[in-house]
C-alpha cells in the first residue's frame, strides 16, 4: 500500500512538472522599471505634456523702470524745490555758505573732469576687464543716452531761464556739466558692477567733484547740480532700458511705452508715450 502511494505521489509530481511548467519556474517581477537606453532625460523635455505654470509678473512698483527712476527722481525733485530761495536749504543759502569757504577759488578742472569717467571706461576695457556688454552695444547705449541727456538739458535751460550765480547768462538750470559727468559715471557703473563696485564708486566720485566745482566756480546753483545729476543718471538708465542690441533681445520697458524726440517752444525735448 505504501509503495502504491509513493508511486502515485511521484507520478503526480512528474505530471505537474510536465504539464504546468509555469508553476515549476516562477520568476519574480522586477521591483523597479527598466529605463530603455535611448530615453535619456533632458532638462527641457515635458514628456507628460503638463503645461507649465504661467509666469508671475511682479507689480508695477517693483519693475525695473521704477527702480531705475527712484534715485534720479529724488535728485531732480530736490533740485527743483530748492531753486532760488525756495526749500529748507535753498540755493541762495548754499551759495552763501560756499562763498564763505571758497571766496576767490577758481579752476577749469570741471571742464576736463566731465569726460574722466569715459576715460576710466576705456582704461578698464583696455586692461582686459570684461564688461557687461560688448564694445558695439556700449557705444550704442552711450549715443542714445547722450542724445536723451543733451535734449533734456537744452530744453530745460531754455524753458526755466534761471540766471547763473556769476550773472553770465540765463541758462543755469540744470547743470549740463554735472549731467554729463553723472551719465558717464552711470555707464561705468552699469558695465562693471558685476566685477567690482569700486569702478562705479570711482566714477561717481569724479562726477560729484564736477558738481562741487561748478558751484565753487559760481557757474551753478545747488538746485542746478542736483537736477543735473538726476538727469544724467536717468538718461543712462533709459538708454539701457530701451536698448535693443544686435542679437534682437526685447527692450525691458513695459509694453506700449516708447520715447521719441520732440520740438516745442523752439527747443528740442524728449517725449514719452505709454499705450495701456
Note the pLDDT tens digit of each residue in 181-196.
Answer: 999 999 999 999 999 9
The whole-number pLDDT of residue 9 equals: 46
Write the secondary structure of the chain as one string of H (helix), E (strand) and C (coil): CHHHHHHHHHHHHHHHHHHCHHHHCCCCCCCCCCCCCCCCCCCCCCCCCCCCCCCCCCCHHHCHHHHHHHHHHHHHHHHHHCCCCCCCCCHHHHHHHHHHHCCCCCCCHHHHHCCHHHHHHHHHHHCCCCCCCCHHHHHHHHHHHHHHHHHHHHHHHHHHCCCCCCCCCCCCCCCHHHHHHHHHHHHHHHHHCCCCHHHHHHHHHHHHHHHHHHHHCCCCCHHHHHHHHHHHHHHHHHHHHCCCCCCCCCCCCCCCEEEEEEEECCEEEEEEEECC
The whole-number pLDDT of residue 62 equals: 74
pLDDT digits 0-9 by tens, 15-43: 444 444 444 444 455 555 554 544 444 54
List, for the chain, all residue ranges whose pLDDT scores fall below the cut of 50.
Answer: 1-6, 9-10, 12-27, 35, 37-41, 43-44, 246-252
The whole-number pLDDT of residue 219 equals: 97
Model confidence, pTM: 0.70
Cis check: omega of the bond before 174, within 30 degrees of 0: yes
The whole-number pLDDT of residue 67 equals: 86
* pLDDT mean across residues, the chain: 81
The whole-number pLDDT of residue 63 equals: 77
Phi-psi sector, 128: left (phi>0), alpha (psi -120 to 50), beta: left
Amino acid at each position: 500500500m505504501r509503495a502504491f502511494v509513493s508511486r502515485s505521489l511521484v507520478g503526480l509530481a512528474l505530471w505537474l512538472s510536465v504539464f504546468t511548467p509555469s508553476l515549476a519556474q516562477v520568476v519574480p517581477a522586477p521591483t523597479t522599471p527598466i529605463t530603455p537606453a535611448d530615453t535619456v532625460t533632458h532638462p527641457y523635455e515635458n514628456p507628460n505634456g503638463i503645461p507649465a505654470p504661467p509666469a508671475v509678473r511682479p507689480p508695477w512698483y517693483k519693475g525695473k523702470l521704477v527702480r531705475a527712476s527712484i534715485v534720479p527722481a529724488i535728485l531732480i525733485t530736490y533740485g527743483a524745490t530748492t531753486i532760488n530761495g525756495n526749500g529748507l536749504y535753498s540755493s541762495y543759502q548754499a551759495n552763501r555758505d560756499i562763498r564763505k569757504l571758497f571766496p576767490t577759488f577758481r579752476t577749469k578742472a570741471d571742464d576736463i573732469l566731465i569726460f574722466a569717467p569715459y576715460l576710466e571706461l576705456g582704461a578698464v576695457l583696455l586692461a582686459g576687464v570684461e564688461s557687461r556688454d560688448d564694445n558695439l552695444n556700449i557705444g550704442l547705449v552711450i549715443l542714445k543716452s547722450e542724445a536723451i541727456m543733451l535734449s533734456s538739458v537744452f530744453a530745460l535751460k531754455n524753458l526755466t531761464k534761471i540766471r547763473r550765480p556769476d550773472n553770465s547768462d540765463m541758462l543755469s538750470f540744470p547743470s549740463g556739466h554735472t549731467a554729463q559727468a553723472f551719465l558717464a559715471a552711470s555707464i561705468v557703473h552699469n558695465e562693471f558692477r558685476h566685477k567690482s563696485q569700486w569702478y562705479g564708486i570711482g566714477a561717481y566720485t569724479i562726477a560729484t567733484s564736477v558738481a562741487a566745482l561748478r558751484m565753487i566756480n559760481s557757474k551753478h546753483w545747488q538746485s542746478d547740480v542736483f537736477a543735473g545729476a538726476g538727469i544724467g543718471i536717468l538718461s543712462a538708465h533709459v538708454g539701457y532700458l530701451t536698448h535693443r542690441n544686435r542679437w534682437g533681445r526685447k527692450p525691458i520697458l513695459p509694453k506700449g511705452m516708447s520715447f521719441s524726440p520732440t520740438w516745442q517752444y523752439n527747443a528740442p525735448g524728449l517725449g514719452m508715450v505709454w499705450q495701456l
